[in-house]
Amino acid sequence: MILNPIQASLKELAQALGTKAISSVELTTLFLDRSERLNPTLNAFITLDRDKTLAMARAADVRLATGETGPLLGIPLAYKDIFCMEGWLTTCASKMLANFVSPYDAHVVEQFKKAGMVTLGKCNMDEFAMGSSTENSFYGPAKNPWDVRRVPGGSSGGSAVAIAARLAPAATGTDTGGSIRQPAALCGLTGIKPTYGVVSRYGMIAFASSLDQGGPMAKSAEDCALLLGAMAGFDPRDSTSLQRPAEDYRRSLEKPLDGLRIGLPKEFFCAGMSDDVRSAVDAALGEYRKLGARTIEVSLPNSGLSVPAYYVIAPAEASSNLSRFDGVRYGYRAPDYSDLADMYCKTRAQGFGAEVKRRILIGTYVLSHGYYDAYYLQAQKVRRLIANDFAEAFKHCDIIASPTTPNVAFEIGSKSSDPVQMYLSDIYTTSANLAGLPGLSIPCGFGAGNMPVGLQLIGNYFDEARMLNLAHRYQQATDWHLRMPEEL
């Protein structure tokens, strides 16, 4: 048996399973036991189902016993509770879907089932993925395992907590404005948002359709490369899914970084970043220079408009996507109403949380007659300018680096009364979503309160393999990604 399964990489777990040093049932039971012990404190999982999970593990062991091999076969995985999974509750952390059992699998779930991965459970999140702290959950906030008084980030906060606390070796997340990268940074993990369209959105409950993208979260870049290889792929059921040849995202992991140009946007390295984050990021960039890369200054002149543009476009799309939750077909329905219109009003008033209502109202407003041109159309023009800025910057560099977040994780409740301050947590991440570019966060040190700091890497379209190469070489030279909260 391997020395410590909860600390092992996916490659090490696959080797142990392949040599029969451990069975999938034994490995899965270890993570289930740990989850059941720690989840009441951390609130990482919304749904755990030991019987269903162990049935999948036994099926994986049967496949292994026949001699079948695979880099992910028999390894447990947690899902953000936004991915539909047949026979499992899929709640989106909302009262509106608290009783919804999905009749089908998301494309991502199908892909991982083919690979033989075992579902551990469904992870907590901000309701309908709207938030940056996982405080907007009908099931209560998830708690950062480095300090349970602090947020884990959001909206994929439950997934981040599960990995950081070693309740799961890996998890899925979704990223609409930074919701994989930001919690990865605040919990000391690696998380990647691929190029828009690389991972199918089929069965991934929609927030903002032109921005949402699924991606993996794990301890290391090598683990994420393995997971992304399984997640990615064309899906004809998603009109935005890209038909591209399959990629091995591990192919460039060991490539030297000599001569690689890392662009540092001057707009990101200015006022607003805390000193502890700046110090950790500067040290990481210094490590890259030791590895042979060189850093150059670039400019993204319209990046300051990314948060305002995002908070026009995303709510506009949300107001449309969430109109289907009306109490008629599935999900929550108000118990008392006088007529159909009253049922709609009461169902939506009672079923949605405050942040979801806020975004629906904003989105409906900016799409309304007389305001569409002034707000939504202007935001789409700004989006194009932001994409053009990146295109110009990539003429001078290969990868763009920045902090992932301006500060380390903040205390639960400290920003709840000020939504604008909460929105600014995504100041470095939203621009990649608006441009459709891939982005990645890796741990690069610790800041105030001994809380993790993340370094963000943004690549050109379909440049995930190069981003993972940079992340992997950095992780070979450092051990930040191996650290875990001591009390766990």
Return the active site residues: 80, 155, 179
Instruction: Supply angle C-alpha 216, 221, 225, rounded to 5.
Output: 60
Residue in the block written with tokens 């041109």? 373
Beta strands in 52-185 (DSSP E): 76-80, 118-123, 170-174
Task: Find the radius of gyration of the CA atoms of the chain.
Answer: 21
Euclidean distance between CA atoms 334 and 210, whole angstroms: 31
Q: Using alpha carbons, list the distances in angstroms from residue 401 to 87, 134, 238, 351, 488.
A: 41, 26, 31, 40, 32
Cβ count near 33 (within 10 Å):
12
Euclidean distance between CA atoms 254 and 149, whole angstroms: 39
String of DSSP letters for 163-228:
HHTTS-SEEEEE-SSSTTHHHHHHHT-EEEEPPTTSS--TTB--S-TTT--EEEEESSHHHHHHHH
Instruction: Supply angle C-alpha 169, 173, 176, rounded to 5.
Output: 160
CB burial of 322-346 (b: ≥16 within 10 Å; e: otherwise) equals beebbbeeebbbbeeeeeeeebbeb
Euclidean distance between CA atoms 455 and 453, whole angstroms: 7
The answer to whether the CB of 105 falls within 8 A of the CB of 56 is no
CA atoms within 13 A on the CB side of 375: 19
Euclidean distance between CA atoms 156 and 380, whole angstroms: 26
Query: In the numeric block, which tokens belong to residue 437?
Result: 């570019």
- The burial class, CB within 10 Å (0-12 / 13-18 / 19+), for 424 is middle
Residue in the block written with tokens 């108000």? 334
The answer to whether the CB of 98 falls within 8 A of the CB of 138 is yes
Report the side by side order of strands in the sheet with 170-174: 45-48, 118-123, 76-80, 170-174, 214-218, 190-193, 439-446, 452-458, 399-403, 261-265, 294-298
